[in-house]
Amino acid sequence: MSFALRAICLLILLCGLLPAALAQSPPEAVLVPVADESESVRDRALGRAMDDMLVRLTGDPAVTGTDLAERLRASAGRYLAGFSYRTADEETGMRLAVRFDQTLLRRALGEAAVAIWPAPPPTVVVWLAVERADERFLVDGEQGVALRDRLRATAASSGLSLLFPLMDLRDRRDLGYADVAGGFADPIRAASARYAGEAVLAGRLQVADDGMVAARWLLLPGDGEPVERWQAEADAMDAALASAVGVLAGRLRPVYAYVPDPDAGRRVTLTVDGIDSLADHGRLEDYLEGLAGVERVLTTAVSGGQVRMQLAVSVDEARVREALARDERLGEADGGYRWR
C-alpha cells in the first residue's frame, strides 16, 4: 500500500476515532493499606488516597494541610472513578486500589487557584553513580535495578516521571562513572540530549556499611537555566531518595506547575516533514504525546511525507518549542521540523 493511500486511510480513521483519541487514559491507581473490606475502613482509606492523589497532581506535600484538601477528603466519593482490593503477599497485606477522576480533581484545584503539574508531567532524565562496599557503578538494566525502581516509585508519588538512560554502548562512550560522580555538567548535558527530558538529574550515592547515605546531586533544569547542586545525608536509602525527590519537585514546580484555566484552550501547530510511513507517524505522535504539558495530539493534514499536527497544551508554547529543539529526532526545516 502506498503512503498516500495509507494517509487517506489514516484520515478516515481519525474522523471515526476522534472521540476515542480525545478521551483521557485511565488514571493510575493509588494504593492504600487496609485492614479489611468494611465500609468504615474503606471510607477512611479514601481520605488517605485523596491526599496521595493531591500530592501527585501538585507535587506539593503541603497541599494536604489546606482547607481545600479537607473538603476534598470529605467528598472523596464524588471524585471516585473506581476501586478494588489487592492482596500481594503477607508482608504488604491487603491494599485498596483507588482511581479518581483526574479531570474533576484538576478542575477543583484550578477553581481554588492551586497550581498542578501539566499532563503529562515533566520528564526527568536520571543518571545515578553508586559507591558501596568495594564496588562503584552507574545504575543500568543490570546493576542497581532495585534502587532505580525505588527512586522511580518515590518520584511517582510526587507526580514526576523519571527516565533512566539505556546505558548502551553510546551512553557508556559518552559518559563514564567519573563524569556522573564528579558532577561534570557539560558531559552530562550532552549525553542526556538524546533522551529529550525536561530536566536532568545526576546523583552520586555513597552507601556506608551501616546504611548511611551521603548524596551529591546535580540538576540541569533546562536550556539557559542555571545548574543547581546540593548535598544531603540520610540514615537509610529510602530517606535519601525521598529527600532528593522533594528537592527536585520543589525546583521544578515554579517552572512547570500551572493553575488550570478551563477557558484558555492553548494550541500549538506543527508541520513535520520526513514522515514516510504510518510507523513514522505513530512514533512521532507517541513522542509528542509524551512531552510535558501536551494534553492531546491531533493530525489535521497529510500531504506526501509531510503532516500538520495540532497540540493542545497546558504550558507556554515556548516550553514546548524548547523541548522540540532539544530532541535529536527533530530538526528545524523550512519553518517547520523534519523527523529523523
**Other C-beta atoms within 10 Å of 322: how many?**
14
What average pLDDT does range 226-237 have in this prediction? 95
CATH numeric code, 265-339: 3.30.70.60
| CA atoms within 13 A of residue 206's CA, in its CB half-sphere | 9
Contact 84, 97 (CB under 8 A): yes
Least confident of 15-29, 236-250, 258-272, 324-338: 15-29
Using one digit for the tens of pLDDT, what is the confidence trace for 50-70? 999 999 999 999 999 999 999
Q: Which CATH architecture has domain 123-256?
A: 3-Layer(aba) Sandwich (3.40)
pLDDT surpasses 50 at 279: yes
Q: E strands, 249-305, where?
A: 266-273, 294-303
Using one digit for the tens of pLDDT, what is the confidence trace for 247-271? 999 999 988 888 876 555 578 888 9
What average pLDDT does range 171-189 have in this prediction? 95
What average pLDDT does range 276-290 have in this prediction? 88
What average pLDDT does range 168-181 have in this prediction? 95
**Other C-beta atoms within 10 Å of 127: how many?**
24
Using one digit for the tens of pLDDT, what is the confidence trace for 74-109? 999 999 999 999 986 667 789 999 999 988 999 899
- Asked whether the domain spanning 265-339 has the same topology as the one spanning 123-256, the reply is no
Which residues are registered as beta bridge partners of 200?
A: 125, 220
pLDDT of residue 9: 44
**What ranges do the domains of the chain cover?**
30-111, 123-256, 265-339
Q: What's the pTM value of the predicted model, to 2 decimals?
A: 0.75
pLDDT band for 333, please (50, 70, 90 cuts): confident
Residue 246 has phi, psi (to 5 degrees) of -60, -45
